[in-house]
Structure 1
């Protein structure tokens, strides 16, 4: 049976913290809003920024959307490239591609930015499917984005014995919770922006400390299937 692996982007494939946080600060400063503490800003990494602005800066939806538009002015030109791949990500992508996985990206980042970032790091060719946020279509939250990615991959969730065939790899609770709800095998990575506690509380089935750990987890799952 064809297997599928779906990756989050920020905090999973790339360390994008610098560009995102600088662009948030830029937008808040432009409108004269107080910039939250560094620890609070880290909570913006993962969920939709409009949601985080409302939650952590006590903004109305209208205010948050205005700030997000200004955020995009900097992020869309400079911030998206203040970014780097985590170690051994290319090797991981090469492995799953060579083993005939369907490889997808599911990110709450706008899809246009996600595609540009994959091109920037020369890893677009590893992906069969790329799904990101699309505010015009109302596609903003991780569960909906992941659901669309699963549908576009076109592979079954399980084999004839009920064994699951789709993996979701991400660094925040939103990735893990969405994966669990949709019947995927959830792999939480501890090197990103979510804490180990957060991932455990979200009931991640596996925790991986680096890309090599993800490879070992996939190999372990394959051995279990063959028994």
Structure 2
């Protein structure tokens, strides 16, 4: 039995349309210039506060918080339904649970939004729990909590450097190359292994 923690965006589903449109919704409402969607995909995965600090070129916490709130205003109502489930993910999750592995979702999204996405795709039965971040809890802390709760080895599966960094030193970190992180990004971030398709995960366990 292995405990597996899956990132959400770029790992289980492709959230590009919902995320990029919601980012531009926030920028537009703040009277900032909107950005072509293909130039925003680099921001899929990292925390929203960091994204808007960069996009708005500001360290003003009030402005950043307003941008995040506007983003979530749209994402909570429609953006999460604009996700596209990656091919092979349902079959992978079904096979992993049939083999007795314990699965979690660990994401930078707030828990309620992450749960809405998982429920939208009817994936909840495959997961022990869905854990999202708060202002006072980052992804690394969530992974440590799972490891302490499960008392066994933990694997982190994600597509960005931030996923690898979160699990560095105490989990085995697997980089999924079907998401938004490049091979160079994941290698530099210290991924223990790289997998090109979801089904390749089954060969490593």
TM class by shorter chain equals over 0.9
Alignment root-mean-square deviation, CA: 1.5
The aligned residue for residue 86 of structure 2 is 86
The aligned residue for residue 24 of structure 2 is 25
Shift of the alpha carbon at 1:26?
A: 0.7
Bigger-Rg structure (1/2):
1
| Paired positions, count | 204
Shift of the alpha carbon at 1:142?
A: 2.2
TM-score (norm 1): 0.85
- Name the CA shift for 1:179/1:66 in 2 (closer, same or farther; >3 Å): same
Structure 1 residues without counterparts, runs of 5 or longer: 158-164, 219-227
Task: Say if 1:10 and 1:16, in contact at 8 Å, map to a contact too.
Answer: yes
Q: Deviation per CA, 1:3-33: give whole Å up to 9, x if none.
A: 2011000000000111011000011011111
Distance, in Å, in 2 between the alignment partners of 1:131 and 1:149 is 10
Task: Say if 1:40 and 1:56, in contact at 8 Å, map to a contact too.
Answer: no
The aligned residue for residue 175 of structure 1 is 163
Distance, in Å, in 2 between the alignment partners of 1:145 and 1:41 is 27
- Name the CA shift for 1:30/1:56 in 2 (closer, same or farther; >3 Å): closer
Say if 2:129 is the partner of 1:134. Answer: no
Shift of the alpha carbon at 1:129?
A: 2.0
The aligned residue for residue 11 of structure 2 is 12
Task: Say if 2:5 and 2:105, in contact at 8 Å, map to a contact too.
Answer: yes
Distance, in Å, in 2 between the alignment partners of 1:198 and 1:111 is 26
Task: Say if 2:21 and 2:37, in contact at 8 Å, map to a contact too.
Answer: no
Structure 2 residues without counterparts, runs of 5 or longer: none
TM-score (norm 2): 0.93
SS of the counterpart of 1:109?
Answer: coil
Say if 2:94 is the partner of 1:97. Answer: no
Say if 2:87 is the partner of 1:72. Answer: no
Q: How does 1:45-56 map to 2 (within 5 A)?
A: 45-56=44-55
SS of the counterpart of 1:76?
Answer: helix
Say if 2:145 is the partner of 1:148. Answer: yes
Distance, in Å, in 1 between the alignment partners of 2:144 and 2:35 is 32
The aligned residue for residue 118 of structure 1 is 118
- Name the CA shift for 1:39/1:33 in 2 (closer, same or farther; >3 Å): same
For residue 181 of structure 2, the aligned residue among 194, 205, 214 is: 194
